[in-house]
């Protein structure tokens, strides 16, 4: 599945380079109109990140997110500073399809297990941002990639498997925003290790060949942000490419 991604700061679509708020590029697009177009072109789900909420939970753009959710028919998964059950309920009430959880995965593991059981495995996506060290350990980073942890990707997935974990969005942060191609070996390894997980690959997709490579190794979904925003290829081309590579 192709999942177009949009990051929002103060109501505007932006892309951060390597997660750096000081290195952002703004895009002059009307998101609501774009989502309507995407719906008619066959997009099945969209990924939204509230970067204001991610930076400071008090600045969550809930009114804007609610407006976006109520203005289109595409299911949307939303992330950005989600810390509490109240945050989750607020977004579900606004019309979100799935909630994407990031830093809380490490900081509040028991709480995440509870959420998986309460809301169901299809409603929660765990976003695991990793950087691979010299020993090939997939170390998880949190707090907008500012804090490195000693937690390994495989360990955290194993921990949540008994709670029904299904959706994992994995980003190699060294690739994000670069358009230099995804880390194929990373995704090949985790797809082979966890057959029941529906992985969403994120970071580095710059060409249609990247999409083909990811589908061939068994990735269920590809998150695409900058490539679509900068017209490296069209959404129609991406969808056709994914459908033809069966």
Residues 6 or more apart whose Cβ sits within 8 Å of residue 63: none
Active site residue 129: yes
For 4-27, give one letter per residue: b (16+ CB within 10 A) or e.
bbbbbbeeebbbbeebeeeeeeee
Q: Is the dihedral of CA 107, 110, 115, 121 positive or negative?
A: positive
Three-state SS for 39-108 is: HHHCCCCEEEEEHHHHHCHHHCCHHHHHHHHHCCCCCEEEECCCCCHHHHHHHHHHCCCEEEECCHHHHC
Residue at token pair 């028919």: 73
Paired residues of 168 in beta bridges: 126, 199
d(C-alpha 178, C-alpha 205), whole Å: 8
Paired residues of 2 in beta bridges: 222
Helix (H) or strand (E) holding 35: helix 31-41
Tokens representing 26 are 């703004």
Would you call 108 exposed, middle or buried from its count of C-beta atoms within 10 A (0-12, 13-18, 19+)?
Answer: middle
- The residue annotated as part of the active site, out of 50, 87, 129, 210, is 129
Active site residue 210: no
Paired residues of 77 in beta bridges: 47, 98
Q: Catalytic site residues?
A: 7, 129
């Amino acid at each position: 599945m192709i999942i177009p991604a949009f990051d929002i700061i103060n109501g505007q679509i932006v892309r951060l380079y390597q997660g750096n708020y000081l290195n952002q590029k703004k895009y002059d697009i009307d998101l609501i109109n774009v989502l309507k177009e995407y719906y008619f072109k066959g997009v099945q789900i969209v990924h939204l990140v509230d970067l204001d909420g991610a930076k400071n939970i008090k600045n969550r753009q809930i009114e804007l997110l609610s407006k976006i959710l109520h203005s289109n028919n595409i299911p949307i998964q939303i992330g950005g500073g989600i810390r509490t059950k109240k945050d989750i309920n607020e977004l579900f009430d606004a019309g979100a399809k799935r909630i994407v959880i990031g830093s809380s995965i490490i900081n509040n593991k028991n709480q995440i297990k509870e959420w998986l059981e309460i809301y169901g495995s299809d409603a929660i996506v765990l976003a695991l941002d990793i950087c691979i060290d010299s020993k090939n350990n997939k170390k998880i980073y949190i707090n907008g990639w500012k804090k490195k942890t000693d937690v390994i990707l495989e360990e955290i997935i194993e921990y949540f498997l008994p709670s029904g974990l299904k959706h994992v969005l994995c980003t190699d942060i060294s690739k994000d925003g670069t358009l230099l191609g995804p880390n194929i070996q990373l995704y090949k390894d985790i797809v082979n290790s966890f057959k029941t997980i529906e992985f969403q690959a994120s970071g580095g997709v710059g060409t249609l060949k990247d999409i083909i490579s990811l589908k061939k190794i068994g990735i269920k979904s590809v998150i695409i942000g900058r490539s679509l925003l900068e017209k490296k290829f069209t959404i129609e081309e991406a969808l056709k490419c994914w459908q033809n590579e069966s």
